[in-house]
Structure 1
């Protein structure tokens, strides 16, 4: 008997396999000292055998660490087996309903399992843990902790970075599998010229998944090697590479600081290059690799526009910071470029306290977070290609007004953009702004001041949590439960795609109407 939504269940089972595999890493790290002690019979400073009390404490720590990651591991394995059974007849074309369901429901599932270690370790309440987990998987970067300051055990810090990485990978996988089926008309189809032609057939979807994983995983390894070469410790280098590739940067001021001006500059320069790469089109990267033609990068209009905007805004912010006396000119260029690229690619890293910058510079960063990177990247925001289409549409409409009988069309990379796509990009632009304003109203109604409410709403919707701190949000601990629930919904809308949420609601409404 064929199960409903078979491909949805099968895709979810593949996600649970990845989740289970990653949970083994913090589990092993949490048990490292216990295993070492059991094998080597660790002695105290006096060289005597471990006392009975010390052995009891070590045993309690082992039990706590085992349950912290063992329970979610069992949940991931069990649910994965169930999903695999429900999706055993998945070898058929993906339907619109299945695509929308996976694009939306994958994130709450990941957040539910990912929150368990924080609850089981006693670090957070269930709601705060779910908020933390959703923020990590959606690459928002808002956190209840200062991970750089060592507020958490290394295993939980590692788990946080792994959640960031898996969330970014899941989004890339969706870009090449389900999102073109669900929301391609909102701009995703514009990537067809650059590389992967979407197919709802599972065999071709599987091939696209491996291509996305190859680019994403390869860049992660390259980033890790660069950070290690710059002198970072292995754990810190790993965490920075995981958060950079997923655009899940933290607002911690020391995230890209090493305590030495020369080394800081080298690290920030490397970070700028990495964030620009992460904000680019991963589908385009695969095409360049497959065809062995790097020249295709510069031939892409969206990438050229991205680099131009990043350069222009970096210079603008740097000059204003120098003009206002915030920094000397060279320091202003350094910090201006780093933070413009960070917010533009929605990574959200910060090397200094940008909340103390002049209002003009903070507003530029706020707008850049809404723009986001290229459409085939893990970055959030509206995406450059959609804004390019809207800008070209404005120019063509002016020409049409001046010359009513002229036949005009919006073209990108030499191709005409269909009117249907243009119209729906306009609808997407409206929906994004509508969700931003509604989110701001809901957050403000819960007791948050208007500017921090705008920052939190924009940060969650664009997956750039640093925007909330940019506009004066002092911390997450004081937020009311209702505020965190609204923020979670905005994070889900920003990462799953607003249209996916609306499409899922419309499908559910039609189904309920037919039953009645």
Structure 2
């Protein structure tokens, strides 16, 4: 383990992250925030700490090994979430404790969208902007991690889809160098954000809300500058814009790169994961519209508007809301939560297990049923016209087993802290899938949950964002052996 290399990277990350305190400082100055020193102190503390970590090892030029990469990846979110909590702790409004500040920061950077804050409309603009910015930065970090870093370490959803599986993504490698890949992804991510902000602005949002909501939409985060989320605007046009950009952000960013580089869109329709993604969203949306209409929850028009929006928002793990789906028919509320387990596509800013894994599990199940009828048949699993190696299938089942096992453990741990069954189930599902909204006592905010529950859920957010194995490998004795 090259700790000097790890410390050099960590120090650089902290110094770069300190710069994220400056835009909220500027926003607060524009809107006459009287407590701007919180961001000033946070900037200095983060910058100085990063410098003190980096300075003793800045001359080190050793290569980063695979094990070093695992540790750096985990530290990226864990350490930055800790320092990202400083403005929440130092600002007088809101006045929150360490647990709540870390929870809010972790939720932002992992693009979960769960919040402990109340009366969001009354918060200073600097804090509101900072929350949205956290999600935007976290979303970009996820994309670079999933598309550029994790395949190098041999882990993650993209390892299954791009490194192991033939198809348009692998055949059209992004760029030969990771720095070029990251730069290309930044261009796409920034372009989508600007386009989304302009669309929101043209639809009636003011500039501050348009920029803030574009941050959380493209990051599939779900934080809002209002207590009523997107429902605050009461605009079918804004709802439609949000749905379109949530759908786009939930698609593999490698496919967006391919479209940008080659100026064509046909590969989207040929991609098996994208096909499954839209089939899931379309099917669940149809069910939601029918249930809401038949039960008289809304009129037919509102059933279509609210049903489609909430399905796309929950299934892509964004977490925006236009209505309180926790009071919908119980069947529908739980169906939405189960849909979030599939989540968005691999290589997107979305959470969940990823559609590609669900698709492969489904096709493996079909193969096993077919084998009962034809025991001697050789039946390959295919994505498109290409066979999927058995090693990929084993990795998918291993991930699924670990996901379910850890979900059960965290679910029991939350019950042990005193939560009721609906609250425990929905909060651990929401945080592991990086979704945000929940049922029961957390339907409006996570503020009333015990501190022990918040620590567990913060851990669940990190587990979900790092695709479980990236974090779990650090707890194995073999990882630390020389």
The answer as to 2:482 corresponding to 1:510 is no
Question: Aligned equivalents of 1:321 and 1:473: distance in 2?
Answer: 19
SS at structure 1 position matched to 2:99: helix
1:131 aligns with 2:103: yes
Residue among 11, 21, 31 paired with 2:19: 21
**Aligned Cα root-mean-square deviation (Å):** 2.5
Deviation at 1:163, TM superposition (A): 0.6
Report the Cα offset of residue 150 of structure 1.
1.8
Match of 1:494 among 460, 464, 470: 464
Per-residue CA shift, 1:147-178, capped at 9, x if unaligned?
6x423111011111111111111111111232
User: For residues 277 and 17 of structure 1, what CA distance do their matches in structure 2 show?
Assistant: 32
1:279 Cα deviation (Å)? 0.6
Cα separation, 1, equivalents of 2:150 and 2:58? 19
By how many angstroms is 1:496 displaced?
1.7
Deviation at 1:191, TM superposition (A): 2.6
**Aligned position for 2:334:** 363
Residue 470 of structure 1: how far off its partner (Å): 6.7
Report matched runs for 1:250-329 at 5 Å: 250=223, 254-257=228-231, 264-329=235-300
Runs of 5+ unmatched residues, structure 1 = 35-57
Matches of 2:442 and 2:126 in 1, distance apart? 31
Question: 1:387 aligned to 358, 370, 382, which one?
Answer: 358
CA distance in 1, matches of 2:156, 2:222: 30
Displacement of 1:390: 0.8
**Cα separation, partners in 2 of 1:373 and 1:489, compared to 1, 3 Å:** same
Match for 1:416 among 387, 399, 405? 387
Structure 1 residues 345 and 76: alpha-carbon distance in aligned structure 2, compared to 1, 3 A threshold: same
TM-score normalised by L of structure 1 = 0.86
Alpha-carbon distance in structure 2 between the residues aligned to 1:323 and 1:306: 26
Q: Is 1:143 equivalent to 2:115 in the alignment?
A: yes
Question: How many angstroms does 1:474 deviate by?
Answer: 5.4
Give the distance between the partners of 1:288 and 1:512, measured in 2 at CA.
42
Q: How many Å apart are 1:347 and its aligned residue?
A: 0.2
Q: What is the match of residue 200 of structure 2?
A: 227
* Max Rg structure: 1
Trace 1:117-266 onto structure 2 (pairs within 5 A): 117-122=87-92, 123-146=95-118, 149-184=120-155, 188-192=159-163, 193-195=167-169, 204-250=177-223, 254-257=228-231, 264-266=235-237
User: Which stretches in structure 2 are left out of the alignment for 5+ residues?
Assistant: none
Distance verdict in 2 for CA 1:248–1:259, change over 3 Å: closer
Structure 1 residue 332: deviation in Å? 0.6
Bigger shift: residues 339-348 or 184-193: 184-193
Separation of aligned partners in 2, 1:474 and 1:232: 23
Q: Which TM-score applies when normalising by structure 2?
A: 0.92
From the superposition, tell whether residues 134 and 27 of structure 1 become closer, same or farther in structure 2 (CA, over 3 Å).
same
Query: Shift in Å at residue 146 of structure 1?
Result: 3.9
The Cα shift of 1:79 comes to 3.8
Residues 413-437 of structure 1: per-residue CA shift (max 9 Å, x gap): 3222111111111010111111111
Distance in 2 separating the partners of 1:383 and 1:33? 40
Cα distance in 1 between the residues matched to 2:157 and 2:239: 34
| Structure 1 Cα separation of the partners of residues 206 and 444 of structure 2 | 30
Contact 2:157–2:346 (8 Å) recurs in 1? no
Match of 1:43 in 2: none
